[in-house]
Structure 1
Amino acid sequence: MIEITNFKHDNLSIKQWKMTENETWCVLGRNGSGKEYLDQLLTGELFDYSVDHFHLPKSNKVGIVSFEAQQVIYENELKMDATDFNDSNDIGTQAKNFLPQDNLTDPLIAQFGLEHKLESGYRQLSTGEGRKLLILQAILSGVDLLVCDNPFDSLDEASCDALSTILALLPQQNINVLLILSNRQDIPTWCQKVAFIERGQLDVIGEFDNEETKRQLDALLTPKPDNLEWPPSIKSLSDYEHPYIVKLTNGKVHYGGVNVFENLDVTIKPLQHTLITGKNGSGKSTLMQLITGDCTQCYSNDIEVLGFKRGSGESIWQLKEHMGIVSSEFHRQYRVKGELLTVVLSGFFDSVGLYQKPENYQIDIARKWLDMVGLLSCQHAMFQELSYGEQRLALIARALVKSPYLLILDEPTQGLDEINRHRVLNFLEILVQQKHSTLILVSHRKDEHLPIFTQHIRL
Structure 2
Amino acid sequence: MINILNFEHDKLTIKNWQLRENENWCVLGRNGSGKQYLNQLLSGALEPTSFEQLQSPDKDKVGIISFEMQQNTYEQTLKLEAPDDIDADDVGTKAKDFLPKDRLNDPLINEFGLSHRLETRYIQLSTGESRKLLILQAIFSGIELLVCDNPFDSLDCESCEALSIALERLSKTGVTVLLMLSNRQDIPVWCHNIAFIERGLFDVIGKLDNIDTKNQLDALLSPAPDKTSWPENRQELSDYKHPYLVKLSKGLVHYNGVNVFENLNVEIKPLQHTLITGANGSGKSTLMQLITGDCPQCYSNDIHVLGYKRGSGEAIWEIKKQMGIVSSELHRQYRVNGDLLTVVLSGFYDSIGVYQQPSPYQVNIARQWLNKIGLLAQQNSLFQSLSYGEQRLALIARALVKSPYLLILDEPTQGLDELNRHRVLNFLEHLATQEHSTMLLVSHRKDEFLSIFKQHIKL
What TM-score, normalized to structure 2?
0.98
Cα distance between partner residues in 2 of 1:394 and 1:279: 27
Instruction: Give the RMSD, CA atoms, in angstroms.
Output: 1.2
Q: Which residue of 1 aligns with 2:69?
A: 69
Tell me whether 116-125 or 151-160 shows the greater mean CA deviation. 116-125
Q: Which residue of 1 aligns with 2:368?
A: 368
Q: Which residue of 2 aligns with 1:257?
A: 257
Structure 1 residues without counterparts, runs of 5 or longer: none
Cα distance between partner residues in 1 of 2:171 and 2:119: 30
Q: Is the 8 A contact 1:112 1:163 kept in 2?
A: yes
Letter in structure 1 aligned against 2:404: P
Q: Which residue of 2 aligns with 1:304?
A: 304
Q: Is the 8 A contact 1:81 1:90 kept in 2?
A: no
Cα distance between partner residues in 1 of 2:260 and 2:404: 28
Letter in structure 2 aligned against 1:335: R
CA drift of 1:426 comes to 1.2
Q: Which residue of 2 aligns with 1:161?
A: 161
CA drift of 1:90 comes to 7.3
Structure 1 residues 46-85: aligned runs within 5 Å: 46-84=46-84
CA drift of 1:84 comes to 2.4
Q: Is the 8 A contact 1:337 1:382 kept in 2?
A: yes
Cα distance between partner residues in 2 of 1:201 and 1:90: 48
Letter in structure 1 aligned against 2:319: L
What TM-score, normalized to structure 1?
0.98
Deviations 1:300-332 (A, max 9, x none): 000000000111100110110000000001110
Letter in structure 1 aligned against 2:131: R
Letter in structure 2 aligned against 1:457: I
Q: Which residue of 2 aligns with 1:325?
A: 325
Cα distance between partner residues in 2 of 1:437 and 1:91: 40
Q: Is the 8 A contact 2:250 2:263 kept in 1?
A: yes
Q: Which residue of 1 aligns with 2:341?
A: 341
Percent of matched pairs sharing the same residue: 69
Q: Which residue of 1 aligns with 2:146?
A: 146
Tell me whether 97-106 or 86-95 shows the greater mean CA deviation. 86-95
Q: Which residue of 1 aligns with 2:239?
A: 239
Deviations 1:46-103 (A, max 9, x none): 1242110110001000000000000011111121221327995674322112112211
Q: Which residue of 2 aligns with 1:213?
A: 213
Q: Which residue of 2 aligns with 1:442?
A: 442
Cα distance between partner residues in 2 of 1:21 and 1:300: 56
Cα distance between partner residues in 1 of 2:394 and 2:185: 24
The 3-state SS of whatever aligns with 1:39 is helix
Deviations 1:419-441 (A, max 9, x none): 00011111111111111101000
The 3-state SS of whatever aligns with 1:116 is helix
2:16 is aligned with 1:16: yes
The 3-state SS of whatever aligns with 2:115 is coil
Letter in structure 2 aligned against 1:174: G
Cα distance between partner residues in 2 of 1:258 and 1:225: 49
Pairs aligned (count): 459
Letter in structure 1 aligned against 2:244: Y
Letter in structure 1 aligned against 2:142: G
Q: Which residue of 2 aligns with 1:378?
A: 378
Letter in structure 1 aligned against 2:309: K
Alpha carbons of 1:167 and 1:88: their partners in 2 closer, same or farther (altered >3 Å)?
Answer: closer
Q: Which residue of 2 aligns with 1:226?
A: 226
CA drift of 1:261 comes to 0.3
Q: Is the 8 A contact 1:247 1:304 kept in 2?
A: yes
Alpha carbons of 1:357 and 1:88: their partners in 2 closer, same or farther (altered >3 Å)?
Answer: same
Alpha carbons of 1:85 and 1:186: their partners in 2 closer, same or farther (altered >3 Å)?
Answer: closer
CA drift of 1:370 comes to 0.6
Cα distance between partner residues in 2 of 1:400 and 1:133: 33
2:286 is aligned with 1:286: yes
Cα distance between partner residues in 1 of 2:187 and 2:46: 27
The 3-state SS of whatever aligns with 1:354 is coil
Cα distance between partner residues in 2 of 1:220 and 1:427: 22
Cα distance between partner residues in 2 of 1:22 and 1:315: 58
Q: Which residue of 1 aligns with 2:197?
A: 197
Q: Which residue of 2 aligns with 1:121?
A: 121
